[in-house]
Structure formats: C-alpha cells, structure tokens
Amino acid sequence: MGAATAWRLAERGVSVIGVDQFAPPHPLGSTHGLTRLFRVACLEHPALAGYALAARELFRELEARTGRRILTETGGVFVGAPDSQVVAGSREAARAAGIDVEVIDADELRRRYPQQAGVLDTDVAVLDPNAGVADPEQYLSAALEAATAAGARLVTGTRVRSVDVDKDGVTVTTGAGRLRARQAVVTAGAWLDTLVPSLPLDPIRSPLTWFAPRQGEGFGIADYPVFIRQLPDSTIVWSHGAREGEDVKVGLGDIGVDHPRIRADELDRGVSPAETAELSAVVSRVLPGLDPTPSRVQPCMITRTPDGQFLLGRVGPRLVVGGGDSGHAFKHAPAIGEVLARAVLDEEQVLRTDFVDPLRFGAP
C-alpha cells in the first residue's frame, strides 16, 4: 500500500519521502512469498471489482515501465454449493461489476480440473477469466522503482517511532532523526495500530504453505488456474498453479475463523507441524495429487478489521491511513495507492470508498 501511494503521489509531482523499517521487498510483513491470487469477481465486496480492474491497469503500467512481470492471467475457478459464500459471492460480485462469468456443473468441473477430488454432484463452479496470479516481490520492486523515478525519496532500514500531528503539519520521528511534512500517510501493515492507536485492527499470523506435486504434472501455472473452493463444512481452501521451479501454494480461508491476535514485533517466525496439520488434512482430501506434507512454510501476517474491509482514507486534517488488509488487499494494491493519493490531495475519488472509510467505526 505504501509503495503504491508513494508512486501515485510522486507521479503527481508531490514531494514524497517513504520510510520503511526494513528494505522492501522483504519477508517480514504481509507482502512476500512469490505469488498472490488476483481476482476481479471479488466475493468479499461487490465494489472491489472496480479496485481490481483499476489495479490491473496499474500493474500493467508498472510492467511496461520497469520490464518486470507482475500479473499472469490464468483464469479462476470458484467452487462450492450454489448458495455457498464462494459461489454466490463471486456471482454477485461479477453481476455487480458487469463481468461475464461461466458457471459449470460438477461433471464438467471434474472433467476440466481432475486435480480436484471429492467434488459433490451438487457443487458448481464459477469461472472468472480475469483471475490470475500476481507476484508481490516484483510488484513492490516495480512500484518503488516507479516512485523513485518520479522523484520520491526512500529511506529504508529506519523505524518510525511516532507520527505526531500539529496544526501546521506532522513530525515523523524515526530511529535516524525527525522528518517534518505537511501530511503523513501511514501504511504500516500489521504494525499500523502501533503508530495510529485505537484503529479497530487485529493482526494475526497466517503462514504461506507450499506442497510438491507427486507426479510433477498437472499443477503448472498454465494447467491449474486459481482455485477457491468451499467445502461442505464451510472450510474455504485456495490454491493456484506453480511457476517453473516452485511448488503449489495452498491455503485455508481466514474469514470467520478464530485466530489469536498477535503483536507484529513479536510474531513467532518458527513453523510447527501442528500448525499445518489442518491444511495437510484438507490437501489429502481435495488435492490428492499433492504430497500433503508441506515442502515449505513461511510466516506471514494479515490485519483484520471488524467487517473484513480495508481502512483507507483520511482520519484527520494531516493524517491518512491505509491498512486493515483483512487478507485480500494485495491484488488491489496500486488502486489502493491511487485512493490514498487522492485522499492526501483531497481529490475526488473515482472508486467507491464508503465501505473502506477508516472512520466508519468511529474516530480513532
């Protein structure tokens, strides 16, 4: 969110300094691990289709400017009972956005995607041709390159200790000294509430997990599209094809699932087999072509809000925030940067922002 905001502001000629405690891209926050699902028919909220379409254009612009490959469109398959959150939500999002999606029955699903086991006769699948896989590290590098090319200054390896607002501007106190600015945009991911307290945020741990195909075929990025499947017990499982030399990433949905709140600075970066036991059991049942013992696990974090939607916009005359990613913000990142840049400059928004207003739960 911060990289895109720096880019969109610098592009408009605004004087920008971006500060990060690490050196992005890095594996210590929420934006790492080689792949993220990109979808346009976003079941989390019908208005997010507009964000995804705007983000896709900006991803393509970054690719053209930097020569980096960010987004690979593979199509997406959203499976479950017709009235399940995954199927009904994706269809509703597609309808609201005017996107054409195909709906296929269980037999056709089994025929086209034999990697999926245990499909019920009553299951259906929604096919979104716009879905795909986006690369977080390539995106971050491209956005930061575009930001610096447009004049932004980046200060990395420097922790922000506080952001103090007064009537004339903000003082950002870092480990390396103080910065003075007219406004601050705080996009600190799982650390956001340490800099802007009282926002309704719940950071949780959510590891990235990869599984090796048993046969080495059928799970390449070209033959295995982005999948989200809701099982009869409501468990949501997602996966997508592996890039050359990588294994298949699989995960469980976090919506409605209880997770202990964490402090980002104290994230346990170890990995225990117990933590991945539930995911391994699901992989055995629904993706028997994969070895259910993870080949790799990498810690990551999600920052939840009470309604599962982001917090994007102005919280005070000198302060804009971007956060509360709720586990689905990466695909929208450059569009989020554009929304935050418009918020800083009090420009009219093109995308709908009422459902992401950071003040919708009250003032921080």
Residues near ligand FAD, by CB under 6 A: 1-2, 19-22, 24, 29-31, 36-37, 159-160, 187-189, 191, 195, 206, 208, 251, 300-302, 323, 325, 327-331
Question: How far apart are alpha carbons 299 and 110 in whole angstroms?
Answer: 33
Could you tell me the smallest distance in angstroms from the CB atom of residue 65 to ligand FAD? 20
Residue 131 contacts residue 39 (beta carbons within 8 Å): yes
Q: What is the DSSP letter of 331?
A: G
C-alpha distances out from residue 38 to 228, 240, 332, Å: 11, 10, 8
- Give whichever of 107 and 230 is closer to ligand FAD, judged by the CB atom: 230
Could you tell me the smallest distance in angstroms from the CB atom of residue 151 to ligand FAD? 21
Residue 59 contacts residue 334 (beta carbons within 8 Å): yes
Could you tell me the smallest distance in angstroms from the CB atom of residue 111 to ligand FAD? 26
Could you tell me the smallest distance in angstroms from the CB atom of residue 206 to ligand FAD? 4
Non-local CB neighbours of 255 within 8 Å, separated by 6+ positions: 44, 85, 236, 308, 327
Question: How far apart are alpha carbons 249 and 274 in whole angstroms?
Answer: 18
Q: Which spans in the chain are helix H?
A: 2-11, 48-66, 85-97, 106-112, 136-149, 192-195, 273-286, 333-344
- Give whichever of 6 and 101 is closer to ligand FAD, judged by the CB atom: 6
| Residue at shortest CB range from ligand FAD | 29
Could you tell me the smallest distance in angstroms from the CB atom of residue 31 to ligand FAD? 3
Non-local CB neighbours of 257 within 8 Å, separated by 6+ positions: none
- Give whichever of 36 and 91 is closer to ligand FAD, judged by the CB atom: 36
- Give whichever of 2 and 334 is closer to ligand FAD, judged by the CB atom: 2
- Give whichever of 204 and 286 is closer to ligand FAD, judged by the CB atom: 204
